Amino acid sequence: MKKPFVTLEQLQTITQQYPTPFHLYDEKGIRDTARALYKAFSWNPGYREFFAVKATPNPQILKILKEEGCGTDCSSLTELMMSDRCGFAGDEIMFSSNDTPAEEFALAAKLGATINLDDISHIDFLKDTIGYIPKKISCRYNPGGTFTLGESEEGFQVMDNPGQAKYGMTRPQMTQAFRRLKELGAEEFGIHAFLASNTLSNEYYPALAAILFQMAVELKNETGCHITFINLSGGVGVPYLPDQPANDIAVIGEGVRRAYEDILVPAGMGDVSLCTELGRFMLAPNGHLITRVLHEKQTYKDYIGVDACAANLMRPAMYGAYHHITVMGKEDQPCDHQYDVTGALCENNDKFAVDRMLPKIHIGDLLVIHDTGAHGHAMGYQYNGRLRSAEVLLQTDGSTRLIRRAETPEDYFATAIWD
């Protein structure tokens, strides 16, 4: 059963200072996750985690991760700007974008970021934009087809459809791209691929690694390029459902190590550095959306209305995604009432839970919506004039700090032209 990282007593104190709804992040959990990840890959001397800024674009979160040795993975101009303002520079930034405007390539180059090219046509576009090809460059690979990983020891099957994804280059294009980049002056080459999302299998990363390691050996032989790093991207998931098993990052790291020693080392490529971009794995379990019950409605179903809505967390409305809910103070009570938990948007999909069995809920109860630390606040919006909520950091000493204020109506009106 999922347990919140705060108690009811803590939340009662916190909500006296910060009105609900708000996103709450656990600094200790963030640091512990980063340290476990680095320990799992400590066998690779050049390893680095490039945190996917899109998951949780908050400067204070990024600064915590920087202290833990992480870089940033950026996919837009503003993400690059945020990384720069937070003190990331040079090879601490990976720029992985698609359909990229020229100004974004220009800023990435100015900051010294490692540019990860999504398409073969971007080679000449990049050269025309900045006037040269960087000495260090990466290309994103898409194997096409369907990626399948059979039943794992956890009984979970991974299946995704790279052939329908807009990202990356074909295998022949990877060879062509490396040769062209080498002609234009590139000296250090990297490979990137993302084959499946939110996997709950210790076998996914080692399987992906084996694919990329084998291709790296082939590309080296075909092109003579010096491949110095391989980016395993994201995809290591978190258990949103309470009965799902969590990934074991130590087992995953060991599986990747075996593939590395079986494939790269015999090919004379034992100097290749690895990197990852694990936004969800790093942050999702270390964030809660805190909301208070405003109303109970009984018609054809029983509805619990809360002061948060899909503008604060859109994954359930957008994907039908499951997020666990804890009714604070009632953790040990039987879940013998069936509810839809809803927000106030004028859309019927504005529901955090549908037909969810929970303890008896009363108006004024505090609810914790779990696993919102990644792709939670980041995906917020202002539909219906609902405003994005505050972000609060629960620090390692138990105190709290506001790390993003809630929007106000004046923020909403600020970009409008009134005359």
Euclidean distance between CA atoms 86 and 408, whole angstroms: 25
Euclidean distance between CA atoms 70 and 26, whole angstroms: 17
CB atoms within 10 A of CB 46: 12
Q: Strand runs (DSSP E) across 59-187, as ranges?
A: 71-74, 93-96, 114-117, 136-141, 147-149, 158-160
Q: Which residues of 224-241 are buried (b: 16+ CB within 10 A; e: fewer)?
A: ebebbbbbbbbbbbbbbe
Would you say how long the chain is, in residues? Answer: 419
Q: Are 315 and 379 contacting, i.e. CB atoms less than 8 angstroms apart?
A: yes
Q: How far is CA 396 from CA 4, 30, 359, in A?
A: 15, 10, 31
Euclidean distance between CA atoms 356 and 302, whole angstroms: 10
Q: Pick from 321, 324, 317: which is nearest to 342 by CA?
A: 317
Long-range CB pairs of 15-19, under 8 A, 24+ apart, other chains included: 15/290, 15/292, 15/366, 17/400, 18/390, 18/392, 18/400, 18/402, 19/406
Q: Pick from 203, 214, 327: which is nearest to 262 by CA?
A: 214
What's the DSSP call for residue 47?
Answer: -
Q: Which residue has the tokens 């910060």?
A: 18
Q: Are 182 and 123 contacting, i.e. CB atoms less than 8 angstroms apart?
A: no
Determine whether 139 is an active site residue. Answer: no
CA 37 to chain centre: 14
SS3 243: coil
The residue from 70, 74, 335, 346 that is catalytic is: 346
Q: How do beta strands 188-193 and 390-394 pair?
A: unpaired
Euclidean distance between CA atoms 97 and 167, whole angstroms: 9
Omega prior to 21 cis, within 30 of 0: yes
Q: How far is CA 276 from CA 15, 91, 366, in A?
A: 36, 14, 36
Q: Which residues are catalytic?
A: 346
